[in-house]
Structure 1
Amino acid sequence: MNVLLIGGTGYVGSHLTRVLLARGHTVYTLSRKARPTERVRGADQGVRHLRGDAATGEGLGEAVEGMEAVVYLVALIRERGGQTFQTTIVDGVRNTLAAMQRAGVGRLLHMSALGAARGTGSRYFEAKAEAEELVRASSLEWTIFRPSLIFGEGDDFFGRVLKGLVRAPLPFIPQVGDGHFPFRPVWVGDVAEAFAQALEKPQTIGQTYELVGPKEYSFHQLLLLMKQALGSRKPILPIPLFLMDLAVPLMSPLPFTPITPDEYRMLKSGNTADPGPMRAAFKLEERSLEAELPAILVRR
């Protein structure tokens, strides 16, 4: 099958590329630089890299021609310059849907996010929810995936956010509130495998799947795991939420702020779901966070 990965040179895309190639698919990626990143090099033999930008529509029409399926993976957790939640998450999806319909390409796999909903106060979740609405309103044969926190080689939350909290130049490890917020992180290999299996399962068309890992953790437990993996002896100090509510907006203008107001808002809401429907639809390894965390930190 000819499969176009929009965002295929990114974090999830690099892992999905490997899985699709192993299954015998022909893989194309669309990116602004039209070349593999360090995440993909060494595992992209036979992949064709196309130049384009889904957010603006540049090169998109030509890229989807001749494809049998399109996978939309483009997203960002922090806005940077002209890359905003609106342009990257919403406008990119809108342009992709239009290009697919013009080209007669019917199959779409869309990566959203667990927690995406209107009225959350998170601009990221709001944008993801709007993109989902566009996908569902289309005439395409779509499948939506809503992964929880994704861990694995090259991840952002464990390799940057939590690592930054533990290694911050402080005599303690700051914990948001009492740390009770629940999370069910999912291995990137399982995310990639679910996408690949969906291409071979017509029964997944018109369905939305929440992708989560085998174990639920509180935020406090995640900090403990990270502390142990990094060999830190600093104590964990709970920071009352009212102080965090004041401090996070003050830190946000800093170029290397450990957490943005949007990330903080999502953190407080937790991120977990029932793995039952996912397990019924896909055969996944469900690798544990404990098994991958040491390697994640070394590679990062």
Structure 2
Amino acid sequence: MRVLLLGAYGFIGSGVARALIAAGHEVVGLGRSARTARRAFPDLDWHIADLNHMRRPADWTEALCGIDAVVNASGALQSGGGDRLDAIQGESIGALIAACEMQGVARFIQISAPGAQAGDASPFLATKALADDRLRASHLHWAILRPGLVIGRNAYGGTLLLRALAAMPARLFAVQAQSHIQSVALDDVADAVLRCMSADAPAGIDIDLVERDAATLGGLIVAHRRWLGIAPARLIALPGWVAAPVSAIADGLGHLGWRSPLRSTAMAMIARDVRGDPAGGEQLLGRPLLTLDQMLARHPSGLQDRWQARLVLLMPFILGALALLFLLSGFTSLMQIDRVAAELDGTPIAGRAGAPAGRGGRIGRHCAGWRDSGAALGAQRGDRHGRLDAGLSVDGQLAAPRYVGRSAGSAGQGGRGADAGAGRPRVAGGAMSDTLILLLRWAHVLGACTLIGTGAGIAFFMLMAHRSGDARIIAHTARIVVIADLLFTASAVIVQPISGLLLAHGLGWPIDTPWIVASIGLYLFIGAFWLPVLWMQARMRDLAMAAVKAGAPLPAAYHRLFRWWFAFGFPAFGAILAIVWLMLARPAF
């Protein structure tokens, strides 16, 4: 059959897609992101559409052309970040069912959820029930499958959260630890869909897909810790109110597009148990569904699973720490604005004509202080500032400021030399505004941070992927790494010399200053290593992808390239750090 599969690149949808393809069906995937779709199944036919905007039967005409059956594996946990549950799970699916009736698509399989009933307090279950009821009232050959907590080789949403909680160091923590949850293997869900697709499958199948025995949430966490191969740890049950602030934050982030498994709907579903009747699934498949232990035993964990589980909960803290660092640094600078201005070369505090007397007097005093004691400031504090050669007009405005080299006496007393090197006079700077100088500094520092960050990040993820030994993980990681290098590193490589040379010209630094010459030499040295590294990463990606397609191990050429890639990284990254030190210290040679 030619099958339209909604949500084909999702966690459940991808498992169903692979099973349908293996059974000889022709699958047409439907998803909202063309890029994600092509990455998940590059050889599949795709119809790109957003269910938020597919709320009329006419919207489905093109997608249903030539289709024999529909499988709906789409869904969203709750509204937010561009998702509207009433549209995605209710109105759009109702319109699809009506369109199937009009266009003669007879078979429809709906993947719902245990406990879905109209008017349920949970919008997730209530909107699922709307589509279920609409399908029951149709004239289609339909089936409704309600899987419990779906567990597969990969992890997403709730299963990813389980792995993260299971990998906690020293102690395990769980809210609603005594809640009961019945799981189901993704393989069993896919088998049930295939059974419903068979020619002899009866119409009106309406069943839960769950294992026989329910486990507690605490038991699931312990089982996943054992599966990850991590030493046992004591489980500490936390009261339900602990999750409330976390869920509130997760809900807020959900409106920004971050679909966290910690959102309030997930917590509410856990609190009310996830249970169903296993009899229908067993009758459909003709056997008991896999137990939790059997599900985990089917897919032994690897190093990549342990790393993912340990790092996933750190991501929000890392992002939060970076945001806090930027906010605090900005606030600190704002509270000491005069001192910050005095520390910035090429950014003197200027008055303006017509300013109020109090403010104009204060600014005038600042300017006068800069004019009269510029050289003395460098001598007393040993900082990097040159003398500010500026004059004040009679109305208190700063007239044409420019920096010139510090006198030999002040350089000697300061102990570190002027900006461009001790005892070296500045050349006349270009006609650059203070704002332009500041923007160039910002671009130059940002470029240096980007080079360090991408260099360290790429090295870490490539090394972790290599250690997994899994060609799929290596191919996926290398593909992202190549994109990151071209997008971020290459941009910084272009910005750095341009902003650096413009800064040297604007601040009057001679290009033959020793530390500038050393920086340029190191930069060329880095390029000699980075360009081959970029080629090696692309080549390792291609070799890993070829191994995945062929079902073969990684070739010897990959391992040889990795050794060269690893060796080239040390001198290149060391040279980056050396350039940053030269930029900050500006030593005299």
> Who is 1:282 aligned against?
285
- Number of equivalent positions: 294
Find the aligned partners of 2:154 and 2:91 in 1 and give their Cα distance. 26
The alpha carbon displacement at 1:139 in A equals: 2.3
> Who is 1:139 aligned against?
139
Give the SS at the match of 1:204.
coil
> Who is 1:55 aligned against?
52
> What letter corresponds to residue 277 of structure 1 in structure 2?
G
The alpha carbon displacement at 1:166 in A equals: 3.7
Mean alpha-carbon deviation: is it higher for 220-229 or for 252-261?
252-261
1:295 to 297, 301, 307: 301
> What letter corresponds to residue 224 of structure 2 in structure 1?
M
Deviations 1:150-169 (A, max 9, x none): 0103332454222333456x
Mean alpha-carbon deviation: is it higher for 149-158 or for 286-295?
286-295
**Which structure has the highest helix share of the two?**
2
> Who is 1:68 aligned against?
68
> Who is 1:237 aligned against?
236
**Which structure has the highest strand share of the two?**
1
Give the SS at the match of 1:131.
helix
Find the aligned partners of 2:78 and 2:231 in 1 and give their Cα distance. 27
The alpha carbon displacement at 1:2 in A equals: 1.2
Unaligned runs of 5+ in 2: 309-589
Asked whether the 8 Å contact 1:53–1:59 carries over to 2, the reply is no
Asked whether the 8 Å contact 1:184–1:272 carries over to 2, the reply is yes
1:126 equivalent to 2:129? Answer: no
1:115 equivalent to 2:115? Answer: yes
The aligned runs of 1:1-300 (5 Å cut-off) are 1-34=1-34, 37=37, 40-41=40-41, 45=43, 47-57=44-54, 60-167=60-167, 172-177=171-176, 179-230=177-228, 231=230, 234-241=233-240, 243-244=241-242, 246-253=244-251, 255=253, 259-283=262-286, 286-287=289-290, 288-292=294-298, 294-295=300-301, 298=304
Give the SS at the match of 1:221.
helix
Deviations 1:202-234 (A, max 9, x none): 443112011112542111211211233342655
Larger RCO, structure (CA 8 Å, separation 6 or more): 1
Find the aligned partners of 2:128 and 2:220 in 1 and give their Cα distance. 25
Change (3 A) 1:66 1:38: closer
CA RMSD of aligned residues (A): 2.8
Deviations 1:4-47 (A, max 9, x none): 11222222221112211222211111222346648744xx64x3
Deviations 1:272-300 (A, max 9, x none): 22322211122468342331464388456
Give the SS at the match of 1:63.
coil
Deviations 1:122-151 (A, max 9, x none): 221111112211211222221111010101
Change (3 A) 1:215 1:276: same
Find the aligned partners of 1:94 and 1:239 in 2 and give their Cα distance. 41
Asked whether the 8 Å contact 2:107–2:141 carries over to 1, the reply is yes
Deviations 1:81-139 (A, max 9, x none): 22122121112202211221221212111111112124542221111112211211222
Find the aligned partners of 2:183 and 2:39 in 1 and give their Cα distance. 21
Find the aligned partners of 2:60 and 2:302 in 1 and give their Cα distance. 33
> What letter corresponds to residue 271 of structure 1 in structure 2?
V
Change (3 A) 1:253 1:12: closer
Asked whether the 8 Å contact 1:165–1:173 carries over to 2, the reply is yes
What is the percentage of aligned positions where both structures have the same residue? Answer: 25
Asked whether the 8 Å contact 1:107–1:140 carries over to 2, the reply is yes
Find the aligned partners of 2:252 and 2:235 in 1 and give their Cα distance. 24
Asked whether the 8 Å contact 1:175–1:236 carries over to 2, the reply is yes
Mean alpha-carbon deviation: is it higher for 182-191 or for 133-142?
133-142
Find the aligned partners of 2:285 and 2:166 in 1 and give their Cα distance. 35
Change (3 A) 1:205 1:298: farther
TM-score (norm 2): 0.46
> What letter corresponds to residue 227 of structure 1 in structure 2?
R
Give the SS at the match of 1:101.
helix
Asked whether the 8 Å contact 1:54–1:96 carries over to 2, the reply is no
Change (3 A) 1:153 1:60: farther
Asked whether the 8 Å contact 1:190–1:285 carries over to 2, the reply is no
Find the aligned partners of 1:158 and 1:258 in 2 and give their Cα distance. 6
Change (3 A) 1:51 1:296: farther
Find the aligned partners of 2:184 and 2:234 in 1 and give their Cα distance. 27
Give the SS at the match of 1:173.
strand
Unaligned runs of 5+ in 1: none
Deviations 1:222-271 (A, max 9, x none): 12112333426553211123x34644554434537651111111001111
TM-score (norm 1): 0.85
Asked whether the 8 Å contact 2:158–2:261 carries over to 1, the reply is no
> What letter corresponds to residue 196 of structure 2 in structure 1?
A
